[in-house]
Amino acid sequence: MEADRSVLEIWGKSQLQGQVKISGAKNAALAILAGALLCPEDCRLRNVPSLVDVNRMSQILEALGVKIERQGDILDINASQISSDRAPYEIVSQLRASFFCIGPILARLGVARVPLPGGCEIGARPVDFHVRGLQGMGATVQINGGMVHAYALQED
């Protein structure tokens, strides 16, 4: 017996035609924005959705010293002069994906200080996976008073 399927039937004298623009994926954009911290040269991202979470991630990067310009769905990013190793609590507390920044900051500066993230309405999701990953790559990670401190050992 075949499962019941929902069907959308269209009838009429005209054929359907046209174009639909598909917006970029928010979660992909957030991870790519954090990853742009790794690039000391200009980056251009296209098809970036204009959403509150994307704007918050952009604000975090700007607080770190990254220059960002938006024209429509294009973001031009220059992370050549990262000036801070500390992500601002006021914004991080509103965006779970903000924790994606800790690895790139650590890679670029050798130290990163990122508050434990917020912004998740479906409940707590610990950052243990991220912390274990950083430790597995040789970083020292400490969590004190809601702030995650990560240090990369410098080779002589």
Is 43 assigned a catalytic role? no
**Contact call for residues 49 and 26 (beta carbons, < 8 A):** yes
Which pLDDT score is estimated for 148? 93
Q: What tens digit of pLDDT does each residue of 13-28 get? A: 888 889 988 889 999 9
131 part of a folded domain: yes
Span 23-49, average pLDDT: 96
Note if the pTM is more than 0.85. no
Q: 75 in helix, strand or coil?
A: strand
Q: Does 72 score more than 60 pLDDT?
A: yes
Number of domains in the chain: 1
Q: 84 in helix, strand or coil?
A: coil
Using pLDDT thresholds of 50, 70 and 90, give the confidence band for residue 123.
very low
46 part of a folded domain: yes
Residue 141 region, left (φ>0) first, then alpha (ψ -120 to 50), else beta? beta
20 part of a folded domain: no
Structural domain harbouring 87: 26-152
Edge to edge, the sheet with strand 67-71 lists: 42-45, 74-78, 67-71
Q: Which CATH number fits the domain that encloses residue 72?
A: 3.65.10.10
Residue of 39, 43, 101, 120 with catalytic role: 120
Q: Which residues contact 27 (CB under 8 A, 6 or more apart)?
A: 97
Q: Does 12 score more than 60 pLDDT?
A: yes
Residue 18 region, left (φ>0) first, then alpha (ψ -120 to 50), else beta? left
Mean of per-residue pLDDT scores for the chain:
89
Q: Which residues contact 98 (CB under 8 A, 6 or more apart)?
A: 56, 57, 60, 87, 91, 92, 114, 117, 119
118 part of a folded domain: yes
Q: Does 89 score more than 50 pLDDT?
A: yes
Query: Which residue, among 28, 39, 71, has the nearest Cα to 61 in the 3D structure?
Result: 39
Place of tokens 């009838």: 11
